[in-house]
Amino acid sequence: MSTASEPAGQAALSICEALLLALHERGLLPEHEIKGVLRDAAATHLGAVGTEVEMAHHRSVADLINAIIAGESSVQRP
């Protein structure tokens, strides 16, 4: 897999995390619903099919999402 997509993926992750945090801070989305969205995203990747390389990539994505749920995100919360 090309590393050219890494900056785009990191940018997308930062933007999505910022949006979820803003929705929560403004009282538009409670924390349990944000975690539900993240759990659904992780489950989608864990259920993905493909080659062993593709499945390993999906497992890595799910692991990252689960780390975000656990509060291990690289994005600092205010």
List, for residues 25-34, the tens digit of each pLDDT value.
Answer: 999 999 999 9
**What Å distances lie between residue 9 and 14, 17, 26, 46, CA to CA?**
9, 12, 26, 18
What is the average pLDDT value for the chain, to the nearest integer? 87
The pLDDT score that the predictor gives to residue 9 is 87
The stretch 13-39 carries a mean pLDDT of 93
pLDDT for residue 47 is more than 60 = yes
CB within 8 Å of 70: residues ≥ 6 apart: none
Tally of residues, the chain: 78
pLDDT for residue 46 is more than 90 = yes
Q: How confident is the model at residue 3 (pLDDT cuts 50, 70, 90)?
A: low
The pLDDT score that the predictor gives to residue 75 is 47
